[in-house]
Amino acid sequence: MPTVKSVETILMDHPAAGRDHLIPILQEVQESEGYLSQESITKVGKALDMPSSKIFGVATFFNMFRFQAKGKYHVMVCRGTACHVKGSGRALDLVTKALKIQPGETTRDKLFSLEVVACMGACGLAPVVNINGQFYAKVTPMKLQRIIEECREKEQTHAIA
Amino acid sequence: MFAIEANGQTIEAKKGETILQSLKRAGINVPTICHMEGLLPSGTCRMCVVEVEGFGGLVPSCSHPVAEGMKIRTNTPDVMQTRKTLIDLLLSNHPDDCLYCARNGNCDLAKLAADNGVRDRAYQGARSHRPKDISSPSIIRDPDKCILCGKCVRMCDEIQGVSAIDFVNRGSKAYVGTAFNQGLNVSSCINCGQCILVCPTAALSEHKYISEVLQALADPTKTVVVQHAPAVSVSIAEEFGFAPGTDFDGKMTAALRRVGFDRVFDTSFTADLTIMEEGSELVHRVQNGGALPMFTSCSPGWVKFVEEFYPELLPNVSTCKSPQQMMGAIIKSYFAQKENLDPKNIVSVSLMPCTAKKFECGRPEMAQDYVADVDYVLTTRELAELFRITGVNPAAIEPEAPDTPFGERSSAGKLFGASGGVMEAALRSAVFLLTGEEMKDYTIQALRGMEGSKELRVKVGDLEVGAAVVSSLGQARKLMNEIKAGRKDLHFIEVMTCPGGCINGGGQPIGADKEAIKARMAALYQIDSGDKLRVSHKNEWVQRLYTEFLGKPLGHKSHELLHTHYDKREVLL
Ligand code: SF4
Ligand code: SF4
Ligand code: SF4
Ligand code: FES
């Protein structure tokens, strides 16, 4: 678990920061809070004298930032070369359809969030999907569908119990 | 001055200017998209490329400085083909629904394609589909029509200092949007519409209310009353092919009656009323140690700007409603009583050079007993559309006079349409009210002109008044920061959101250059120079309104109807 640092502390670690410190600051905020919230972006904007539209623009330029808190199940789909060749595009399609969200987003019930990563270093198992740290190897759309349904069922039994 | 050669002909160039500027002066046309007069070149669209002898590759003329002896060609096969390809690419993912488009007839992109001989679709790119943002009462954004020229972003940031929008994402997924993709209505956008004026396409347009107005006009149970702002009569003629600066005041009034409005009032009347109220407020503040300097409050973009960015200075903003809202308030009170009408059956329409007025009329502060003071605001552009839809041609109609009791105006009220005009009108009346004497010459030259910031120190009676006039919120921001840093020599500050004032408002005809704006401004001063009534305090109908209804300036009724207050507004800044 990364240590939780408040945005204020992070900003204090960058005294007299200018706009060139924006990216490292945003990275630290995301590392600490898991995503970039409106509140954090406003605070960073105040400190760097930057409008939040500009910060949002810069942050969306890079793929690494997300703007919604992660869901209970954080689904990472690998789009590295090996996975791509083995059909991770189809896997991603299925997930976006099944969850009705795009990469970087979180479902409304906050159960699932989706992230696309460049390479998870498990190319031998391509295509790979990782949910909350657990690897699923050689996924097919069918397999993925089942995995997602299992997560949903687990939640439902929790809810009933 | 030195000589350069362009397309084989010798032309003059000035040191320090760009190739584009020299070519333009010589009457040689080079198409541009991202170029913005008065701002540093961004050089992103490359539409302006030309050939320069000795340079490998084409040169963007909007950003490249001229040099002595340069040999430039603007229409070689290579240049023309490059332009065409650039346009082909812009069109490759563009929705071709020109027929139904808000910019049908005056689209820069369509003109660019036509002017450069693009007559076939060269590429079929994947269309992007992003939802329209119709959340704002003032501005509609249609990202699918955006060609990513960046002009709106620069306008909002560099001129207005608001930065409500910026580029989001990158590459083929890039688009222009707000922080966190929020609706414009909850963003920091102050509704000025300056972005619409620079947008080459229909990606930005005003939120239209023409059908609502037509519906009201068709309803026999409604009394439909219309008011028009000072800057509309000197710009509407452009929509009908007349030169900028042509005044259509009387023709417009007559045409509005043909369209079916029951009463035609002049917002300049309540501009005169504003002078009475705001002038009294200033004197009151000076005499009672109120918050100074006092800022004008007639420009709703500016008011929202203070609520968002400088809430600590809200006590310095005049409590006066804008002339539009004052007119709305007295229409649904005094006029309704006089005519024995239920305010609920009056539909109050307002013709404005402004998109922010659409937002203003919907503010909860601007109503009495849940009946809005003003129901619909149409821009100058929408007014032209209304005339066309109803088949009324103002150019062909004999001028008529506006209706009583809110038709008479002083030309001081008319000056509200130009940056510096409110201040000039205020000083004319202040001198009289504080000394009992009229100014010998009403013209205050120091307050006129297109400069973004003007200042004047004048003696009004025993009082030495520090007056400042700024237009564009970038200019306002500078002044605000000086005041926050302790500047103390100013008493009264006029702020207009749009550069040059309402004559350059976000609802005005599209495609006006600086000369056109100046011509509109000159038209207002022309009207003033020849007018019989040049001071607000001598407007007899304003005086009558006080005796019959309001009592006195800042009195109880005035407070109830003509004044309001503003609060800090929480948006993502
Ligand atoms: S923006 Fe211009 S080119 Fe695009 S659809 Fe509208 S009129 Fe046609
Ligand atoms: S209307 Fe004005 S404030 Fe709003 S986005 Fe356009 S330029 Fe910016
Ligand atoms: S919205 Fe209009 S002005 Fe803004 S980038 Fe798009 S095309 Fe250009
Ligand atoms: S106009 Fe010169 S690069 Fe766009």
Query: In terms of domains, do A105 and A38 share one?
Result: no
Q: How far is CA A136 from the centre of its chain?
A: 17
Are the C-beta atoms of residues B22 and B6 closer than 8 Å to each other? yes
Are the C-beta atoms of residues B229 and B374 closer than 8 Å to each other? no
Looking at ligand 4, which atom is closest to the CA of residue B35?
1
The answer as to whether A2 is a domain residue is no
The answer as to whether A123 is a domain residue is yes
Full 3-state SS string of B123-190: CCCCCCCCCCECCCCCEEECHHHCCCCCHHHHHHHHHCCCCCEEEECCHHHCEEEEHHHCCHHHCCCC
Predicted complex ipTM exceeds 0.90: no
Supply the pTM of this predicted model.
0.93
B298 is a catalytic site residue: yes
Are the C-beta atoms of residues A17 and A48 closer than 8 Å to each other? yes
B506: CA distance to ligand 2 center in Å?
A: 9
On chain B, the residues whose CB falls within 8 A of the CB of A52 are 179-180, 572-573
Tell me if A52 and B573 make a contact (CB, 8 A cut-off): yes
Residue B28: CB within 6 Å of ligand 1?
Answer: no
Query: In terms of domains, do A81 and A145 share one?
Result: yes
Among candidate residues A21, A40, A61, the one where a domain is terminated: A61
Query: In terms of domains, do A83 and A132 share one?
Result: yes
Give me the CATH number covering residue A133.
3.40.30.10
Query: In terms of domains, do A55 and A81 share one?
Result: no
B64: CA distance to ligand 4 center in Å?
A: 10
The answer as to whether A67 is a domain residue is no
CA distance A35 to chain B (A): 13
Residue B176: CB within 6 Å of ligand 2?
Answer: no
Is A25 strand, coil or helix?
helix
Query: In terms of domains, do A56 and A83 share one?
Result: no
B165's tokens: 């929008």
B488: CA distance to ligand 1 center in Å?
A: 50
For B179, nearest residue in chain A (alpha carbons): A53
Are the C-beta atoms of residues A88 and A127 closer than 8 Å to each other? yes
What domains can you pick out in chain B, each with its CATH number? 2-75 (3.10.20.740), 120-203 (3.30.70.20), 211-562 (3.40.50.1780)
The answer as to whether A141 is a domain residue is yes
Tell me if B179 and A53 make a contact (CB, 8 A cut-off): yes
Cα→Cα distances B121→B30, B172, B269, B451, Å: 23, 19, 53, 44
The answer as to whether A100 is a domain residue is yes
Tally of structural domains, chain A: 2
The answer as to whether A101 is a domain residue is yes
The answer as to whether A68 is a domain residue is no
**CA-closest candidate to residue B298, choices B411, B433, B392, B415:** B415
Q: Which residues pair with B176 in a beta bridge?
A: B167
Query: In terms of domains, do A79 and A121 share one?
Result: yes
Report chain A residues touching chain B, CB-CB < 8 A.
38, 41-42, 45, 51-57, 60-61, 67
Catalytic member of B322, B502, B518, B558: B502
B211 is a catalytic site residue: no
Residues with CB under 6 A from ligand 4: B 32-35, 43-48, 60, 62
Tell me if B188 and A53 make a contact (CB, 8 A cut-off): yes
Query: In terms of domains, do A57 and A106 share one?
Result: no
Query: In terms of domains, do A88 and A154 share one?
Result: yes
Query: In terms of domains, do A155 and A84 share one?
Result: yes
Tell me if B573 and A55 make a contact (CB, 8 A cut-off): no
Residues with CB under 6 A from ligand 3: B 146-152, 176, 198-201, 203-204
B398: CA distance to ligand 1 center in Å?
A: 36
Query: In terms of domains, do A95 and A136 share one?
Result: yes
**CA-closest candidate to residue B555, choices B267, B280, B291, B292:** B280
Sequential pLDDT tens for chain B (573 residues): 999 999 999 999 999 999 999 999 999 999 999 999 889 999 899 999 999 999 989 999 999 999 999 999 999 999 999 999 999 999 999 998 999 999 999 999 999 999 999 999 888 888 888 999 999 999 999 999 999 999 999 999 999 999 999 999 998 889 999 999 999 999 999 999 999 999 999 999 999 999 999 999 999 999 999 999 999 999 999 999 999 999 999 999 999 999 999 999 999 999 999 999 999 999 899 889 999 999 999 999 999 999 999 999 999 999 999 999 999 999 999 999 999 999 999 999 999 999 999 999 999 999 988 899 999 999 999 999 999 999 999 999 999 999 999 999 999 999 999 999 999 999 999 999 888 999 999 999 999 999 999 999 998 888 889 999 999 999 999 999 999 999 999 999 999 999 999 999 999 999 999 999 999 999 999 999 999 999 999 999 999 999 999 999 999 999 999 999 999 999 988
CA distance B324 to B227: 8
Residue nearest to atom 4 of ligand 3 (CA): B152
The answer as to whether A109 is a domain residue is yes
Query: In terms of domains, do A124 and A56 share one?
Result: no
CA distance B157 to chain A (A): 9
Query: In terms of domains, do A22 and A54 share one?
Result: yes
CA distance B203 to B147: 8
Cis preceding linkage at B293, omega within 30: yes
Q: Could you tell me the residue range of the domain that residue A50 belongs to? A: 7-61
